[in-house]
């Protein structure tokens, strides 16, 4: 695994952070279906409504290629402006 130096320290990373603004349930359903059609799955839940609720509560959701865990993408709302 490749190591990256950020702020003077070296660490390996196994995910990609994707920060998204507030999203509607319709848009999340569209994104969910696009990921699934492209061979990905959501780690947290396979129910788009549950994923929407998680994002609404400022929690991250994770997506990965079907049948794997790493690497994965963490999709999350911003912590602040």
CA distances from 49 to 3, 5, 32, 56 (A): 36, 37, 10, 10
Rounded Cα distance between 45 and 11, Å, is 28
71 Cβ partners below 8 Å, 6+ apart?
Answer: 14, 15, 16, 64
Reported as a single tens digit per residue, the pLDDT across 10-67 is 667 778 999 999 999 999 999 999 999 999 999 999 999 999 999 999 999 999 999 9
**Chain position carrying tokens 């990609």:** 16
pLDDT at residue 5 greater than cutoff 60: no
């Amino acid at each position: 695994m490749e190591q990256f130096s950020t702020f003077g320290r070296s660490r390996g990373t196994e995910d990609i952070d994707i920060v998204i603004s507030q999203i509607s349930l319709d848009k999340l359903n569209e994104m969910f279906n696009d990921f699934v059609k492209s061979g990905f799955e959501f780690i947290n839940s396979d129910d788009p409504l549950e994923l929407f609720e998680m994002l609404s509560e400022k929690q991250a959701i994770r997506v990965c290629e079907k049948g794997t865990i790493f690497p994965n993408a963490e999709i999350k709302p911003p912590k602040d402006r």
